[in-house]
Amino acid sequence: MYTMNEIIWPKGYLPGKTDNFASNEIIVANLSAADVWEYLNDTSKWESYYSNVDTIRFHNVKGPELSQGAHFRFNTFGFPIEAEVVEYEPPTANKPARLAWHGWEEGSTESDALHVHHAWLLEDLSEGRVRILTQETQNGKAAKEMAETTPNPMINGHQEWIDGLAKAVAKKRS
Tens of pLDDT, residues 41-93? 999 999 999 999 999 999 999 999 999 999 999 999 888 999 999 999 999 98
The pTM (predicted TM-score) of the whole model is: 0.94
Q: Exposed, middle or buried, 61 (CB in 10 Å: 0-12/13-18/19+)?
A: middle
Q: Is the bond leading into 151 cis (omega within 30 degrees of zero)?
A: yes
The pLDDT tens digits for 110-127 are: 667 889 999 999 999 999
Q: How far is CA 122 from the centre of its chain?
A: 11
Confidence of residue 164 (pLDDT cuts 50, 70, 90): very high
Measured CA to CA, the distance from residue 24 to residue 108 in angstroms comes to 27
Q: Is the pLDDT of residue 20 over 70?
A: yes
Sorted by sequence, the CB contacts under 8 Å of residue 145 that are 6+ apart come out as none
Measured CA to CA, the distance from residue 172 to residue 151 in angstroms comes to 32
Radius of gyration of the chain (CA): 16
CATH code, residues 20-173: 3.30.530.20
Domain segments of the chain as ranges = 20-173
